[in-house]
Amino acid sequence: MLKTLIKSRIDAIISAIIFDNKNKKRRSTVAVILISLMLVLLVGIIVASLSFLFYAITLIGKETGDNWATMTLASLVASLFCVIGSIFATKTQIFDSKDNELLLSMPIKPRSIFLSRIIVLLVVNYLLESLIMVPAMIIYGVVCSYTPLGFVFAILSYLLIPVFTLAVSTIIAWIVSFVSSRVKNKTAVSVVLYLVLFLGYMYLCFNMGYSAGSDDGEIDLSGLKSTAIFYCVGEAAANGDWLCFLLFALTAIIPSVVIYIVLDFSFIKILTTKKTAAKIEYKGNNQKASSAFGGLVKKELSRFFKSSAYIMNAGMGNILMIVIAIVAAVSSSSAFDLVEELASELSLVNPQLASFLTENTSGIFALLISCIALFLNSTNIVSAPSISLEDKNLWILQCAPVSARQVVFAKIVSHLIICTPAPVIATLIACIALEVTVAHTIMCLLVILSAVVFTAYLGMLLGLKFPKFGWQNENVAIKQGFAVFGSMFGSMLLGIILIALGIFGITTSYYVSSVLMLTPSLIFAIIIHLYLYLCAENNFEKLRN
Protein backbone atom coordinates (compact mmCIF):
# COMPACT_ATOMS: atom_id res chain seq x y z
CA MET A 1 0.00 0.00 0.00
CA LEU A 2 2.88 2.37 0.76
CA LYS A 3 4.27 1.78 -2.72
CA THR A 4 0.85 2.51 -4.25
CA LEU A 5 0.50 5.78 -2.34
CA ILE A 6 3.96 6.94 -3.38
CA LYS A 7 3.31 5.99 -7.00
CA SER A 8 -0.01 7.89 -7.03
CA ARG A 9 1.64 11.10 -5.79
CA ILE A 10 4.50 10.86 -8.27
CA ASP A 11 2.04 10.11 -11.09
CA ALA A 12 0.11 13.27 -10.15
CA ILE A 13 3.29 15.34 -10.58
CA ILE A 14 4.14 13.73 -13.94
CA SER A 15 0.58 14.09 -15.23
CA ALA A 16 0.92 17.88 -14.93
CA ILE A 17 3.36 17.68 -17.86
CA ILE A 18 1.68 14.96 -19.92
CA PHE A 19 -2.01 15.91 -19.55
CA ASP A 20 -3.80 19.15 -20.34
CA ASN A 21 -5.93 20.07 -17.34
CA LYS A 22 -8.18 22.27 -19.45
CA ASN A 23 -9.70 19.45 -21.47
CA LYS A 24 -8.43 16.42 -19.49
CA LYS A 25 -6.75 15.05 -22.60
CA ARG A 26 -3.21 13.90 -23.16
CA ARG A 27 -0.98 16.63 -24.55
CA SER A 28 0.45 16.19 -28.00
CA THR A 29 3.96 14.78 -28.30
CA VAL A 30 5.20 18.15 -29.55
CA ALA A 31 3.73 19.95 -26.51
CA VAL A 32 5.29 17.45 -24.08
CA ILE A 33 8.66 17.80 -25.82
CA LEU A 34 8.48 21.61 -25.72
CA ILE A 35 7.56 21.65 -22.02
CA SER A 36 10.34 19.16 -21.27
CA LEU A 37 12.84 21.22 -23.26
CA MET A 38 11.90 24.36 -21.32
CA LEU A 39 12.36 22.48 -18.05
CA VAL A 40 15.74 21.21 -19.23
CA LEU A 41 16.74 24.71 -20.33
CA LEU A 42 15.77 26.22 -16.98
CA VAL A 43 17.70 23.51 -15.14
CA GLY A 44 20.62 24.09 -17.49
CA ILE A 45 20.67 27.83 -16.74
CA ILE A 46 20.64 27.20 -12.98
CA VAL A 47 23.32 24.51 -13.16
CA ALA A 48 25.55 26.52 -15.52
CA SER A 49 25.34 29.68 -13.39
CA LEU A 50 26.18 27.83 -10.19
CA SER A 51 28.92 25.81 -11.90
CA PHE A 52 30.76 28.99 -12.89
CA LEU A 53 30.47 30.20 -9.30
CA PHE A 54 31.72 26.94 -7.81
CA TYR A 55 34.56 26.71 -10.33
CA ALA A 56 35.77 30.20 -9.42
CA ILE A 57 35.56 29.47 -5.70
CA THR A 58 37.35 26.14 -6.13
CA LEU A 59 40.25 27.82 -7.95
CA ILE A 60 40.52 30.52 -5.29
CA GLY A 61 40.29 27.98 -2.49
CA LYS A 62 42.98 25.85 -4.07
CA GLU A 63 45.38 28.81 -4.20
CA THR A 64 44.64 30.08 -0.67
CA GLY A 65 44.40 26.68 0.99
CA ASP A 66 40.68 27.12 1.74
CA ASN A 67 39.71 24.03 -0.23
CA TRP A 68 36.72 23.49 2.05
CA ALA A 69 34.94 26.58 0.66
CA THR A 70 33.33 24.93 -2.39
CA MET A 71 31.43 22.22 -0.54
CA THR A 72 30.60 24.62 2.29
CA LEU A 73 28.94 27.08 -0.06
CA ALA A 74 27.28 24.31 -2.09
CA SER A 75 25.73 22.68 0.98
CA LEU A 76 24.53 26.05 2.29
CA VAL A 77 22.91 27.02 -1.04
CA ALA A 78 21.39 23.53 -1.40
CA SER A 79 19.94 23.76 2.09
CA LEU A 80 18.31 27.13 1.46
CA PHE A 81 17.11 25.99 -1.97
CA CYS A 82 15.46 22.88 -0.48
CA VAL A 83 13.78 24.78 2.36
CA ILE A 84 12.41 27.43 0.00
CA GLY A 85 11.27 24.79 -2.51
CA SER A 86 9.56 22.44 -0.07
CA ILE A 87 8.31 24.50 2.85
CA PHE A 88 4.83 25.14 1.39
CA ALA A 89 4.52 21.61 0.02
CA THR A 90 5.39 20.28 3.48
CA LYS A 91 2.61 22.28 5.12
CA THR A 92 0.11 21.24 2.46
CA GLN A 93 1.01 17.55 2.34
CA ILE A 94 1.43 16.83 6.04
CA PHE A 95 -0.88 19.27 7.83
CA ASP A 96 -3.45 20.63 5.37
CA SER A 97 -3.95 17.96 2.70
CA LYS A 98 -7.49 17.87 1.28
CA ASP A 99 -7.60 14.09 0.92
CA ASN A 100 -7.01 13.31 4.61
CA GLU A 101 -10.58 12.23 5.35
CA LEU A 102 -10.80 10.11 2.20
CA LEU A 103 -7.57 8.24 2.94
CA LEU A 104 -8.44 7.72 6.62
CA SER A 105 -11.78 6.18 5.62
CA MET A 106 -9.96 3.56 3.56
CA PRO A 107 -8.22 0.41 4.91
CA ILE A 108 -4.83 2.15 4.90
CA LYS A 109 -2.53 2.43 7.87
CA PRO A 110 -1.98 6.06 8.96
CA ARG A 111 1.74 5.35 9.05
CA SER A 112 1.66 4.44 5.36
CA ILE A 113 -0.07 7.75 4.55
CA PHE A 114 2.52 9.66 6.58
CA LEU A 115 5.48 7.78 5.11
CA SER A 116 4.24 8.22 1.52
CA ARG A 117 4.12 11.99 1.98
CA ILE A 118 7.51 12.16 3.68
CA ILE A 119 9.15 10.04 0.96
CA VAL A 120 7.69 12.14 -1.87
CA LEU A 121 8.86 15.33 -0.13
CA LEU A 122 12.31 13.79 0.25
CA VAL A 123 12.39 12.94 -3.46
CA VAL A 124 11.56 16.57 -4.27
CA ASN A 125 14.33 17.74 -1.92
CA TYR A 126 16.86 15.39 -3.53
CA LEU A 127 15.96 16.72 -6.98
CA LEU A 128 16.38 20.32 -5.81
CA GLU A 129 19.62 19.52 -3.98
CA SER A 130 21.08 17.73 -6.99
CA LEU A 131 20.97 20.95 -9.04
CA ILE A 132 23.51 22.45 -6.63
CA MET A 133 25.47 19.65 -5.00
CA VAL A 134 26.18 17.45 -8.03
CA PRO A 135 27.92 20.20 -10.08
CA ALA A 136 29.85 21.33 -7.00
CA MET A 137 31.02 17.79 -6.18
CA ILE A 138 32.11 17.14 -9.78
CA ILE A 139 33.95 20.47 -10.10
CA TYR A 140 35.74 20.00 -6.80
CA GLY A 141 36.75 16.46 -7.73
CA VAL A 142 38.16 17.59 -11.09
CA VAL A 143 40.03 20.66 -9.82
CA CYS A 144 41.22 19.52 -6.39
CA SER A 145 40.49 15.74 -6.24
CA TYR A 146 39.10 13.97 -3.17
CA THR A 147 40.83 11.86 -0.59
CA PRO A 148 39.11 8.44 -0.29
CA LEU A 149 37.57 9.38 3.06
CA GLY A 150 36.64 12.84 1.81
CA PHE A 151 34.77 11.35 -1.17
CA VAL A 152 32.81 9.05 1.15
CA PHE A 153 31.91 12.00 3.41
CA ALA A 154 30.85 14.08 0.38
CA ILE A 155 28.45 11.34 -0.76
CA LEU A 156 27.05 10.86 2.75
CA SER A 157 26.60 14.62 3.15
CA TYR A 158 24.71 14.67 -0.14
CA LEU A 159 22.36 12.01 1.25
CA LEU A 160 21.86 13.77 4.61
CA ILE A 161 21.24 17.37 3.53
CA PRO A 162 17.64 16.75 2.25
CA VAL A 163 16.86 14.85 5.45
CA PHE A 164 18.00 17.86 7.49
CA THR A 165 16.17 20.43 5.34
CA LEU A 166 12.94 18.41 5.43
CA ALA A 167 13.12 18.46 9.22
CA VAL A 168 13.55 22.24 9.16
CA SER A 169 10.66 22.65 6.68
CA THR A 170 8.44 20.43 8.84
CA ILE A 171 9.15 22.44 11.99
CA ILE A 172 8.39 25.73 10.22
CA ALA A 173 5.25 24.32 8.60
CA TRP A 174 3.99 22.90 11.91
CA ILE A 175 4.49 26.21 13.75
CA VAL A 176 2.76 28.17 10.99
CA SER A 177 -0.13 25.67 10.81
CA PHE A 178 -0.57 25.64 14.60
CA VAL A 179 -0.52 29.42 15.06
CA SER A 180 -2.48 30.40 11.94
CA SER A 181 -5.34 28.06 12.85
CA ARG A 182 -5.92 29.97 16.09
CA VAL A 183 -5.96 33.59 14.98
CA LYS A 184 -8.30 35.82 13.02
CA ASN A 185 -6.06 37.06 10.22
CA LYS A 186 -4.54 33.76 9.12
CA THR A 187 -2.94 35.12 5.97
CA ALA A 188 -0.99 37.94 7.60
CA VAL A 189 0.13 35.75 10.47
CA SER A 190 1.22 32.95 8.12
CA VAL A 191 3.24 35.31 5.91
CA VAL A 192 4.95 36.95 8.89
CA LEU A 193 5.70 33.61 10.52
CA TYR A 194 7.14 32.16 7.33
CA LEU A 195 9.41 35.16 6.90
CA VAL A 196 10.53 35.30 10.53
CA LEU A 197 11.22 31.58 10.77
CA PHE A 198 12.98 31.38 7.41
CA LEU A 199 15.12 34.46 8.08
CA GLY A 200 15.87 33.01 11.51
CA TYR A 201 16.99 29.78 9.85
CA MET A 202 19.24 31.75 7.49
CA TYR A 203 20.69 33.65 10.45
CA LEU A 204 21.47 30.42 12.27
CA CYS A 205 23.04 28.98 9.10
CA PHE A 206 25.46 31.88 8.92
CA ASN A 207 26.09 32.56 12.59
CA MET A 208 26.18 29.25 14.48
CA GLY A 209 29.88 29.36 15.00
CA TYR A 210 32.11 26.32 14.88
CA SER A 211 35.44 26.38 16.68
CA ALA A 212 37.63 25.06 13.92
CA GLY A 213 38.85 28.33 12.53
CA SER A 214 41.80 28.90 14.86
CA ASP A 215 44.24 27.03 17.04
CA ASP A 216 43.16 28.66 20.30
CA GLY A 217 39.54 27.53 19.96
CA GLU A 218 38.19 30.98 19.17
CA ILE A 219 34.97 30.96 17.20
CA ASP A 220 35.72 32.13 13.69
CA LEU A 221 32.81 34.09 12.25
CA SER A 222 34.55 35.38 9.13
CA GLY A 223 33.35 34.41 5.68
CA LEU A 224 32.02 30.93 5.05
CA LYS A 225 33.52 29.61 8.27
CA SER A 226 30.58 31.15 10.09
CA THR A 227 28.14 28.76 8.42
CA ALA A 228 28.42 26.21 11.23
CA ILE A 229 27.36 22.73 10.12
CA PHE A 230 27.91 23.60 6.47
CA TYR A 231 31.51 24.47 7.24
CA CYS A 232 31.68 20.99 8.74
CA VAL A 233 30.48 19.56 5.40
CA GLY A 234 33.24 21.42 3.58
CA GLU A 235 35.97 20.28 5.98
CA ALA A 236 34.77 16.68 5.91
CA ALA A 237 34.59 16.51 2.10
CA ALA A 238 37.85 18.41 1.47
CA ASN A 239 40.07 17.04 4.22
CA GLY A 240 38.34 13.84 5.33
CA ASP A 241 37.78 15.29 8.82
CA TRP A 242 35.70 12.61 10.55
CA LEU A 243 34.92 14.82 13.57
CA CYS A 244 33.39 17.50 11.34
CA PHE A 245 31.31 14.92 9.51
CA LEU A 246 30.14 13.43 12.79
CA LEU A 247 28.96 16.84 13.99
CA PHE A 248 27.07 17.43 10.75
CA ALA A 249 25.57 13.92 10.73
CA LEU A 250 24.34 14.24 14.31
CA THR A 251 22.88 17.68 13.59
CA ALA A 252 21.03 16.30 10.57
CA ILE A 253 19.90 12.94 11.94
CA ILE A 254 18.87 13.64 15.55
CA PRO A 255 16.24 16.39 14.84
CA SER A 256 14.93 14.39 11.88
CA VAL A 257 14.45 11.24 13.94
CA VAL A 258 12.78 13.16 16.78
CA ILE A 259 10.41 14.93 14.40
CA TYR A 260 9.58 11.69 12.60
CA ILE A 261 8.76 9.89 15.87
CA VAL A 262 6.61 12.77 17.15
CA LEU A 263 4.68 13.11 13.89
CA ASP A 264 4.29 9.36 13.49
CA PHE A 265 2.66 9.01 16.92
CA SER A 266 0.53 12.13 16.58
CA PHE A 267 -0.38 11.89 12.89
CA ILE A 268 -3.97 10.78 13.49
CA LYS A 269 -4.45 13.55 16.03
CA ILE A 270 -3.04 16.13 13.61
CA LEU A 271 -5.42 15.04 10.86
CA THR A 272 -8.55 14.73 12.99
CA THR A 273 -8.18 17.63 15.40
CA LYS A 274 -10.74 20.31 14.69
CA LYS A 275 -8.89 23.55 14.22
CA THR A 276 -10.45 26.49 15.97
CA ALA A 277 -9.89 30.15 15.48
CA ALA A 278 -10.95 33.31 17.20
CA LYS A 279 -14.46 34.30 16.23
CA ILE A 280 -14.80 37.27 13.94
CA GLU A 281 -17.43 39.80 14.92
CA TYR A 282 -19.22 41.04 11.83
CA LYS A 283 -20.48 44.61 11.85
CA GLY A 284 -22.80 46.16 9.35
CA ASN A 285 -21.64 49.22 7.45
CA ASN A 286 -22.47 51.19 4.37
CA GLN A 287 -21.36 49.72 1.06
CA LYS A 288 -20.06 51.88 -1.77
CA ALA A 289 -21.09 51.11 -5.31
CA SER A 290 -18.32 50.54 -7.84
CA SER A 291 -18.07 49.75 -11.52
CA ALA A 292 -18.01 46.18 -12.78
CA PHE A 293 -14.33 46.49 -13.63
CA GLY A 294 -13.56 47.93 -10.17
CA GLY A 295 -15.43 45.04 -8.56
CA LEU A 296 -13.40 42.52 -10.53
CA VAL A 297 -10.16 44.19 -9.45
CA LYS A 298 -11.27 44.18 -5.80
CA LYS A 299 -12.12 40.48 -6.10
CA GLU A 300 -8.64 39.67 -7.43
CA LEU A 301 -6.90 41.73 -4.73
CA SER A 302 -9.00 40.10 -2.03
CA ARG A 303 -8.16 36.64 -3.35
CA PHE A 304 -4.44 37.43 -3.30
CA PHE A 305 -4.20 39.04 0.13
CA LYS A 306 -6.36 36.38 1.80
CA SER A 307 -4.11 33.51 0.71
CA SER A 308 -0.70 33.10 2.33
CA ALA A 309 0.22 30.50 -0.31
CA TYR A 310 -0.60 32.98 -3.08
CA ILE A 311 1.43 35.75 -1.43
CA MET A 312 4.50 33.63 -0.69
CA ASN A 313 4.58 31.70 -3.97
CA ALA A 314 3.51 34.38 -6.43
CA GLY A 315 4.61 37.59 -4.70
CA MET A 316 7.73 36.69 -2.73
CA GLY A 317 9.86 38.87 -4.99
CA ASN A 318 8.13 41.98 -3.61
CA ILE A 319 9.19 41.13 -0.09
CA LEU A 320 12.75 40.23 -1.08
CA MET A 321 13.13 43.50 -3.00
CA ILE A 322 12.41 45.53 0.13
CA VAL A 323 14.69 43.35 2.28
CA ILE A 324 17.60 43.60 -0.18
CA ALA A 325 17.10 47.36 -0.57
CA ILE A 326 17.31 47.83 3.19
CA VAL A 327 20.46 45.68 3.32
CA ALA A 328 21.94 47.78 0.49
CA ALA A 329 21.13 50.97 2.40
CA VAL A 330 22.75 49.69 5.58
CA SER A 331 25.91 48.47 3.81
CA SER A 332 26.19 51.26 1.21
CA SER A 333 29.58 52.38 2.55
CA SER A 334 30.99 48.94 1.80
CA ALA A 335 29.80 49.24 -1.82
CA PHE A 336 31.66 52.53 -2.27
CA ASP A 337 34.78 51.07 -0.67
CA LEU A 338 34.59 48.09 -3.02
CA VAL A 339 34.35 50.35 -6.09
CA GLU A 340 37.33 52.42 -4.93
CA GLU A 341 39.39 49.30 -4.25
CA LEU A 342 38.46 47.78 -7.62
CA ALA A 343 39.28 51.03 -9.44
CA SER A 344 42.62 51.21 -7.66
CA GLU A 345 43.54 47.68 -8.72
CA LEU A 346 42.36 48.23 -12.30
CA SER A 347 44.40 51.43 -12.62
CA LEU A 348 47.53 49.30 -12.62
CA VAL A 349 46.26 47.01 -15.36
CA ASN A 350 43.77 49.06 -17.38
CA PRO A 351 43.73 52.78 -16.49
CA GLN A 352 40.99 53.51 -19.02
CA LEU A 353 38.63 50.96 -17.47
CA ALA A 354 39.47 52.23 -13.98
CA SER A 355 38.66 55.79 -15.08
CA PHE A 356 35.36 54.64 -16.62
CA LEU A 357 34.41 52.86 -13.39
CA THR A 358 35.16 55.95 -11.29
CA GLU A 359 33.34 58.39 -13.58
CA ASN A 360 30.24 56.21 -14.12
CA THR A 361 29.68 54.89 -10.60
CA SER A 362 26.09 56.18 -10.52
CA GLY A 363 25.18 54.46 -13.79
CA ILE A 364 26.86 51.21 -12.78
CA PHE A 365 24.99 51.15 -9.47
CA ALA A 366 21.74 51.87 -11.34
CA LEU A 367 22.45 48.97 -13.70
CA LEU A 368 23.19 46.68 -10.76
CA ILE A 369 19.94 47.67 -9.05
CA SER A 370 18.06 47.02 -12.29
CA CYS A 371 19.63 43.57 -12.64
CA ILE A 372 18.66 42.49 -9.12
CA ALA A 373 15.12 43.87 -9.50
CA LEU A 374 14.65 42.16 -12.89
CA PHE A 375 15.63 38.81 -11.42
CA LEU A 376 13.31 39.18 -8.42
CA ASN A 377 10.49 40.43 -10.65
CA SER A 378 10.50 37.07 -12.45
CA THR A 379 9.27 35.48 -9.20
CA ASN A 380 6.22 37.78 -9.07
CA ILE A 381 3.74 35.74 -11.13
CA VAL A 382 0.42 36.94 -9.70
CA SER A 383 -1.41 36.98 -13.04
CA ALA A 384 -0.23 33.55 -14.23
CA PRO A 385 -2.33 31.34 -11.89
CA SER A 386 -5.28 33.76 -11.63
CA ILE A 387 -7.36 31.95 -14.29
CA SER A 388 -6.52 28.52 -12.84
CA LEU A 389 -7.65 29.67 -9.38
CA GLU A 390 -11.18 30.30 -10.71
CA ASP A 391 -11.58 26.55 -11.47
CA LYS A 392 -15.12 25.54 -10.45
CA ASN A 393 -16.19 29.20 -10.09
CA LEU A 394 -15.18 30.08 -13.64
CA TRP A 395 -18.80 29.70 -14.85
CA ILE A 396 -19.81 32.57 -12.57
CA LEU A 397 -17.54 34.98 -14.43
CA GLN A 398 -18.62 33.57 -17.78
CA CYS A 399 -22.30 34.07 -16.92
CA ALA A 400 -21.89 37.42 -15.15
CA PRO A 401 -22.78 40.66 -16.99
CA VAL A 402 -19.12 41.47 -17.60
CA SER A 403 -17.09 40.99 -20.74
CA ALA A 404 -14.17 38.60 -20.98
CA ARG A 405 -12.01 41.62 -21.78
CA GLN A 406 -12.92 43.17 -18.42
CA VAL A 407 -12.10 39.94 -16.57
CA VAL A 408 -8.74 39.56 -18.29
CA PHE A 409 -7.61 43.15 -17.85
CA ALA A 410 -8.86 43.27 -14.26
CA LYS A 411 -6.47 40.45 -13.47
CA ILE A 412 -3.63 42.30 -15.22
CA VAL A 413 -4.40 45.52 -13.35
CA SER A 414 -4.47 43.58 -10.07
CA HIS A 415 -1.01 42.18 -10.86
CA LEU A 416 0.27 45.72 -11.48
CA ILE A 417 -1.29 47.05 -8.27
CA ILE A 418 0.33 44.26 -6.25
CA CYS A 419 3.72 44.18 -7.96
CA THR A 420 4.43 47.87 -8.66
CA PRO A 421 4.84 49.50 -5.21
CA ALA A 422 7.60 47.18 -3.94
CA PRO A 423 10.06 47.68 -6.84
CA VAL A 424 9.44 51.44 -6.78
CA ILE A 425 10.07 51.69 -3.04
CA ALA A 426 13.04 49.31 -3.14
CA THR A 427 14.61 51.14 -6.10
CA LEU A 428 14.26 54.52 -4.42
CA ILE A 429 15.78 53.22 -1.18
CA ALA A 430 18.72 51.62 -2.98
CA CYS A 431 19.31 54.58 -5.31
CA ILE A 432 19.27 57.10 -2.47
CA ALA A 433 21.59 54.96 -0.35
CA LEU A 434 24.04 54.45 -3.24
CA GLU A 435 23.85 58.14 -4.27
CA VAL A 436 22.50 57.41 -7.75
CA THR A 437 21.62 60.58 -9.66
CA VAL A 438 18.00 61.59 -10.18
CA ALA A 439 18.19 60.98 -13.94
CA HIS A 440 19.69 57.51 -13.46
CA THR A 441 17.09 56.73 -10.81
CA ILE A 442 14.24 57.65 -13.17
CA MET A 443 15.71 55.50 -15.96
CA CYS A 444 16.19 52.63 -13.52
CA LEU A 445 12.55 52.87 -12.44
CA LEU A 446 11.34 52.88 -16.03
CA VAL A 447 13.34 49.75 -16.85
CA ILE A 448 12.00 47.88 -13.83
CA LEU A 449 8.39 48.97 -14.31
CA SER A 450 8.45 47.99 -17.99
CA ALA A 451 9.50 44.49 -16.90
CA VAL A 452 6.66 44.40 -14.34
CA VAL A 453 4.16 45.27 -17.08
CA PHE A 454 5.58 42.58 -19.36
CA THR A 455 5.35 39.93 -16.62
CA ALA A 456 1.71 40.86 -15.94
CA TYR A 457 0.76 40.48 -19.60
CA LEU A 458 2.80 37.32 -20.16
CA GLY A 459 1.28 35.64 -17.11
CA MET A 460 -2.23 36.48 -18.28
CA LEU A 461 -1.57 35.21 -21.80
CA LEU A 462 -0.19 31.89 -20.56
CA GLY A 463 -2.92 31.61 -17.92
CA LEU A 464 -5.57 31.80 -20.64
CA LYS A 465 -3.78 29.35 -22.91
CA PHE A 466 -2.64 26.81 -20.30
CA PRO A 467 -5.00 26.88 -17.28
CA LYS A 468 -4.67 24.19 -14.62
CA PHE A 469 -8.13 23.14 -13.49
CA GLY A 470 -9.33 20.22 -11.40
CA TRP A 471 -7.01 20.91 -8.44
CA GLN A 472 -7.84 19.84 -4.90
CA ASN A 473 -5.59 22.41 -3.22
CA GLU A 474 -4.94 25.94 -4.45
CA ASN A 475 -1.19 25.39 -4.01
CA VAL A 476 -1.34 23.16 -7.09
CA ALA A 477 -2.80 25.95 -9.22
CA ILE A 478 -0.36 28.53 -7.80
CA LYS A 479 2.84 26.47 -8.00
CA GLN A 480 2.31 24.03 -10.85
CA GLY A 481 1.32 24.14 -14.47
CA PHE A 482 2.86 25.49 -17.65
CA ALA A 483 1.37 28.98 -17.14
CA VAL A 484 3.24 29.47 -13.86
CA PHE A 485 6.46 27.92 -15.11
CA GLY A 486 6.32 29.71 -18.45
CA SER A 487 5.64 33.08 -16.87
CA MET A 488 8.56 32.76 -14.47
CA PHE A 489 10.88 31.34 -17.11
CA GLY A 490 9.84 33.92 -19.73
CA SER A 491 10.37 36.82 -17.32
CA MET A 492 13.71 35.40 -16.26
CA LEU A 493 14.79 34.95 -19.87
CA LEU A 494 13.75 38.51 -20.69
CA GLY A 495 15.69 39.68 -17.63
CA ILE A 496 18.82 37.91 -18.90
CA ILE A 497 18.40 39.56 -22.31
CA LEU A 498 17.85 42.99 -20.75
CA ILE A 499 20.88 42.59 -18.48
CA ALA A 500 23.03 41.63 -21.48
CA LEU A 501 21.76 44.68 -23.40
CA GLY A 502 22.37 46.86 -20.36
CA ILE A 503 25.96 45.68 -19.96
CA PHE A 504 26.53 46.23 -23.68
CA GLY A 505 25.04 49.74 -23.58
CA ILE A 506 26.78 50.88 -20.39
CA THR A 507 30.03 51.19 -22.33
CA THR A 508 28.43 54.24 -24.01
CA SER A 509 26.24 55.59 -21.22
CA TYR A 510 23.58 54.40 -18.83
CA TYR A 511 20.95 56.28 -20.85
CA VAL A 512 21.77 54.20 -23.94
CA SER A 513 21.79 51.12 -21.73
CA SER A 514 18.35 52.00 -20.33
CA VAL A 515 16.83 52.56 -23.77
CA LEU A 516 18.13 49.17 -24.90
CA MET A 517 16.64 47.56 -21.77
CA LEU A 518 13.30 49.35 -22.09
CA THR A 519 12.60 48.52 -25.70
CA PRO A 520 12.07 44.70 -25.61
CA SER A 521 9.79 44.82 -22.56
CA LEU A 522 7.54 47.48 -24.03
CA ILE A 523 7.38 45.89 -27.49
CA PHE A 524 6.43 42.46 -26.12
CA ALA A 525 3.91 43.98 -23.69
CA ILE A 526 2.22 45.99 -26.47
CA ILE A 527 2.00 42.92 -28.72
CA ILE A 528 0.42 40.82 -25.96
CA HIS A 529 -1.93 43.70 -25.04
CA LEU A 530 -3.22 43.92 -28.60
CA TYR A 531 -3.68 40.15 -28.81
CA LEU A 532 -5.61 40.00 -25.54
CA TYR A 533 -7.72 43.00 -26.49
CA LEU A 534 -8.73 41.39 -29.79
CA CYS A 535 -8.92 37.73 -28.75
CA ALA A 536 -9.91 37.77 -25.07
CA GLU A 537 -13.54 36.87 -25.78
CA ASN A 538 -12.64 33.88 -27.93
CA ASN A 539 -10.01 32.55 -25.51
CA PHE A 540 -12.23 33.03 -22.47
CA GLU A 541 -15.12 31.27 -24.18
CA LYS A 542 -12.93 28.24 -24.92
CA LEU A 543 -12.35 27.77 -21.19
CA ARG A 544 -15.88 26.34 -20.96
CA ASN A 545 -14.72 23.18 -22.74
User: Is the pLDDT at 322 greater than 70, yes or no?
Assistant: yes
Looking at residue 515, its amino acid is V
pLDDT (tens digit per residue) in 336-392: 777 776 667 666 666 776 676 677 788 888 888 888 888 888 889 899 888 888 888
User: Is the pLDDT at 183 greater than 50, yes or no?
Assistant: yes
pLDDT (tens digit per residue) in 387-439: 888 888 888 888 888 888 888 999 999 999 999 999 999 999 988 988 888 88
Rg value, the chain, Cα: 25
Is residue 502 within 8 A of residue 513, CB to CB? The reply is yes
Domain ranges of the chain: 66-272, 292-542
Q: Which residues contact 213 (CB under 8 A, 6 or more apart)?
A: 219, 220, 222, 225
Collapse the DSSP code of 379 into the 3-class scheme (helix H, G, I; strand E, B; otherwise coil) and give the result: coil
Helix (H) or strand (E) holding 345: helix 332-349
Q: Which comes out higher in pLDDT, residue 288 or 329? A: 329
Of the candidates 108, 126, 99, the residue with the CA atom closest to the CA atom of residue 12? 99
Percent of the chain at pLDDT > 90 equals 10
**Cα 42 to Cα 74: distance, rounded to the nearest angstrom:** 19
**Cα 44 to Cα 52: distance, rounded to the nearest angstrom:** 12
User: Is the pLDDT at 318 greater than 60, yes or no?
Assistant: yes
User: Is the pLDDT at 459 greater than 50, yes or no?
Assistant: yes
Strand partners, 19: 26
**Cα 144 to Cα 62: distance, rounded to the nearest angstrom:** 7
| Cα atoms found within 13 Å of the Cα of residue 101, Cβ hemisphere only | 3
DSSP state of 108: -
Collapse the DSSP code of 68 into the 3-class scheme (helix H, G, I; strand E, B; otherwise coil) and give the result: coil
pLDDT (tens digit per residue) in 495-537: 888 888 877 777 677 778 788 888 888 999 999 999 998 888 8
pLDDT (tens digit per residue) in 475-493: 777 877 778 888 888 888 8
Residue 410: the pLDDT is 92
Residue 190: which pLDDT band, with cuts at 50, 70 and 90? low
pLDDT (tens digit per residue) in 203-255: 655 554 333 344 443 333 345 565 667 888 888 888 888 888 898 888 888 88
Residue 365: the pLDDT is 84
Distances (CA, A) of 308 to 109, 278, 379, 431: 31, 18, 15, 30
**Cα 385 to Cα 474: distance, rounded to the nearest angstrom:** 10
User: Is the pLDDT at 542 greater than 80, yes or no?
Assistant: no
DSSP state of 170: H
Q: Which sign does the torsion angle of CA 468, 473, 478, 480 carry?
A: negative
Of the candidates 382, 408, 411, 383, the residue with the CA atom closest to the CA atom of residue 543? 408
pLDDT (tens digit per residue) in 148-164: 888 999 999 999 998 88
Collapse the DSSP code of 20 into the 3-class scheme (helix H, G, I; strand E, B; otherwise coil) and give the result: strand
Q: For strands 19-20 and 25-26, give the pairing.
A: antiparallel
Is residue 79 within 8 A of residue 161, CB to CB? The reply is yes
Strand partners, 26: 19
Residue 528: the pLDDT is 92
* Reported pTM: 0.67
Residue 452: the pLDDT is 93
Residue 367: the pLDDT is 84
